[in-house]
Structures are given as C-alpha cells and as structure tokens.
Amino acid sequence: MGSTPTIGVLALQGDVREHRAALGAAGAHTIALRRESELDRVDGVVIPGGESTTMSRLLQVFDLLEPLRDRLRDGLPAFGSCAGMILLASEVLDTRPDAEHLDALDITVRRNAFGRQVDSFETDLEVLGIDDGPVRAVFIRAPWVEKVGAGVEVLAAVPDGPAAGRVVAVRQGVVMATSFHPEVTGDLRVHRMFVDAVRKAG
C-alpha cells in the first residue's frame, strides 16, 4: 500500500464523484467499486449517501452484499456517510423489512430521523479527533444513532436545537460513519481522518 492507500467508493448510487474527489485530495488513490473482483484491490471502502434501501437492493443485484460483509468482517476499514451509516449498522429502525445491512458497526440507527428533504439543515460540530475548529455538517434526510454498543466511540453529537444530543458520528475499530455529508463542504478533515486510519490499518 505504501503511503497512498487505494480506497474503493461504492459506486451504485449517491455522491460517488464527490467522495472520490475528497479522498484524492486527502492523499488516497480511489476506484469506483462495483464488482466483487475490485474488492481485492482496495485497502478501504467508502459507502456514500444515497437511498439506503435502494443501495441494499443494488448490493444484492451486483452480488456484492456477502463479499463486502466478509471483507468488513475480516477488518477492511470503512467509512459511511448518511445512507452509508445506515448500511454499516447492525440494526436499522424505520426501514423496509427486506432491506439488508452490513453489520459492521454495533449501532442502532433510525432512517430519516431528522425529517424529510425540506428539513435538511447545516450546523457546526465538534468532532472527536479533528482539531482546528468545528466541522460544518450538512444533514440531508439524515439518520441518527439511537444506541451504541460497548465498543463504539461517539465522535460527534448535535450541539443544540430539537435534536440536541443526538449522536451523528461514530467509530468502532477501523469502521467509522457520519449522519452528515462531509464530501459536499470542501472540508477534507473527515476524509483525512479516514485515509490516515486506512494507512495505519495497512
């Protein structure tokens, strides 16, 4: 791997181009991940935002669900934003009964917890492990974390307003997730944190 890890961005739906641009600027080589064979080429994976039930169905259509689960179980570093957080969770509330998830984070998440598209908002968050001031967080039909397991570290929670205290960023070992979309702000610090974690894991 050297100092430039290869990170696959799951390219079934969502902010694929934005994540690849941010990861590239943060020092990683990226590929668009659509096939099982491409999993062998990556040192880490990013699961972007999108529509989680659609993405779960496409993982099955592309025969990626079980291979990706296996790689995550074997310690593949992963980062999920918004729908990616939902897919990485061990339990999902307010989802379709046939929706699949990857069981890579011991968390319970609630889909669309902040409301509909019109309830999208931005706020400044203090994120554990990120210095130089707060992170501007963009929430779009976002989930939040209802419950975390014993091995899960809370990285950020909503500071104020009706959702004050709701957990919106977590990490468990080499897997991290955010309810918000760091790929749309131009702030590379979340992506740099993940790229650094992939380097250390390698």
Closest residue by Cα to residue 147 from 101, 188, 107, 181: 107
Exactly one of 19, 82, 101, 191 is catalytic; which is it? 82
Beta carbons within 8 Å of 101's beta carbon, 6+ residues apart: 56, 86, 87, 88, 89, 90, 92
In angstroms, how far is CA 169 from the centroid of its own chain? 9
Active site includes 181? yes
Closest residue by Cα to residue 32 from 22, 42, 57: 42
CA distance 185 to 179: 14
Active site includes 101? no
Exactly one of 19, 100, 183, 191 is catalytic; which is it? 183
Exactly one of 18, 19, 101, 181 is catalytic; which is it? 181
> CA separation (Å) from 148 to 24, 38, 132, 200?
31, 31, 27, 24
Active site includes 29? no
Catalytic residue list: 82, 181, 183
